[in-house]
Structure 1
């Protein structure tokens, strides 16, 4: 096992975000079921941790950017730094929305439509951010999620304030559409993986990656769809189950996302001023860990001297037999006339 090969594609940003969302989902469901008596400000602690890490990482990255100007000449430093600033701005607006949600849940002093204004603003701005990210080959999962759900956020705010009396199944229509498109994408990845598995010209690495991709997207989308169905039925009082049971399919999706973060290449290299991928930064900062990462373990069965000698003899015979099968061509000197 090679430690460096294990973490070379690790994306720490996605790992932190998905882990915080998983813990928050558990705490929020327990709070709704009255299993815990914490305040909502405490329940939102994983969200605060996420935002603190974002602000701290951007602050340290900006300090390194302005303190060492020669670092700006490294590759796509300007694109990475600009991407970090855009992400910081969106997270600050998202933090405003989360603060308003906490205050609304604790005091009920605002309308939900006012609470959702920052989120709706993010959704509109995210359209332009997605276009910029595509042009500069940057990831935009959060921005894409906000952009495609702008209508859903408006429906949620109007329904929570009582301005519309639709059933929750109708309120979730924009999300149903998004999930249908996601199911089409999952079906495509499954078919593509099945085709590659039956294609002998494709190497094993491509088959394995396509299979893992199809498996990951399946365990990501299907539980979200189940959660959406359970939530709509729960809010419409069609079923009587706890909120913990309603959100339990999301646990599968979040765990899948956490596992996929170990193979999610990319990530901004200017968070905390690292200027390199997470694996190289950790191995460079910890010499002992770097020495351990250079050790590879071989799990093959050890052989004694006699068996090893026999294997070498067999290999030599195979090489000689292969040499005899090669065609023999006369050596023609360049100086020899035709």
Structure 2
């Protein structure tokens, strides 16, 4: 496998997001268990890194967009650029929520209901964004997550402010519903793939289904453990409670190498990540060409040997 084969379907955006969330969830759990005594502003460092990359990527992309007008004629440049601006706007509002959360954890001077207002606003706006994304064939994982969990965010805010006295198992009911529906979808896909097991295309689909199950099932286990932990029904450390979530994040990171897609206007690249990296690093491009020609030569020798074998028979 050469570099071009490895990175041709690589989605750097998803890789960065899931890696930052993995590190953040680890630090946050360690902080709740008092294994580390850092301030929450430090614990949120992976989140800040994520947002800095988003803002800087959109800034550079916008500069390239306005500095070189002829680039706007390339394919679906307008759709990509609009998608980048929409994503930037949502991330800025999400950043406002994260800043409020961090300040609330440090100072306890806000109502959680006020803290969650930006997130609830994102959830409502995300419904329209999802419709736009479907219409223009754009990815919308973050927007879909926010849109389907708007009721969950409201319940969390009310519970944290003690406006409702429900148990955490009841508070998480909207998320239970979403996760159960996701699990049903994964099981249906696995069963369908198993029925047509001999079809090569379905085998690939079954592999993707196994990845999806590696996402849904650990998240569901994490949700059960978290609800019991918050209700004081079990005695476990937060790092143990979060551990199933690590499986999902690692799976998502691995899936980012075959996720394809991605917006080509982040940092003004205007091309897929593989082409951009190979174009920016001549040494890597030379290595990729050597690997490609070596592989091609090997395949050619194998074809010649096969032809000679067929001729002799």
If the length of structure 2 is used for normalisation, what is the TM-score?
0.90
Give structure 1 stretches of 5+ with no counterpart. Answer: 215-219, 312-338
Evaluate the alpha carbon distance shift between residue 84 and residue 309 of structure 1 in structure 2; reply closer, same or farther with a 3 A threshold: closer
Provide Cα deviations, 1:43-82, integer angstroms capped at 9, x if missing partner: 0000000000000000000000000000000000000000
Kept in 1: contact 2:186–2:213 (CA 8 A): no
Structure 1 residue 166 displacement after superposition:
0.1
Evaluate the alpha carbon distance shift between residue 213 and residue 182 of structure 1 in structure 2; reply closer, same or farther with a 3 A threshold: closer
Q: Secondary structure at the match of 1:51?
A: helix
Kept in 2: contact 1:64–1:273 (CA 8 A): yes
Kept in 1: contact 2:211–2:251 (CA 8 A): no
Evaluate the alpha carbon distance shift between residue 208 and residue 118 of structure 1 in structure 2; reply closer, same or farther with a 3 A threshold: closer
Larger helix percent: 2
Kept in 2: contact 1:133–1:140 (CA 8 A): yes
Kept in 2: contact 1:283–1:289 (CA 8 A): yes
Provide Cα deviations, 1:19-50, integer angstroms capped at 9, x if missing partner: 00000000000000000010000000000000
Please, what is the CA RMSD of the aligned residues? 3.2
Kept in 1: contact 2:189–2:209 (CA 8 A): no
Evaluate the alpha carbon distance shift between residue 304 and residue 6 of structure 1 in structure 2; reply closer, same or farther with a 3 A threshold: closer
Structure 1 residue 210 displacement after superposition:
8.4
If the length of structure 1 is used for normalisation, what is the TM-score?
0.84
2:310 corresponds to which residue? none
Evaluate the alpha carbon distance shift between residue 205 and residue 163 of structure 1 in structure 2; reply closer, same or farther with a 3 A threshold: closer
Provide Cα deviations, 1:212-248, integer angstroms capped at 9, x if missing partner: 998xxxxx00000000000000000000000000000
1:89 corresponds to which residue? 89
Q: Which structure is larger by alpha-carbon Rg, 1 or 2?
A: 1
* Cα distance in 2 for residues equivalent to 1:299 and 1:308: 14
Evaluate the alpha carbon distance shift between residue 204 and residue 295 of structure 1 in structure 2; reply closer, same or farther with a 3 A threshold: farther
Q: Work out which of the residue numbers 289, 292, 300 in structure 1 matches 2:295.
A: 300
After TM superposition, the runs of 4+ consecutive aligned structure 1 residues lying more than 4 A away are: 200-214, 297-311
Give structure 2 stretches of 5+ with no counterpart. Answer: 307-313
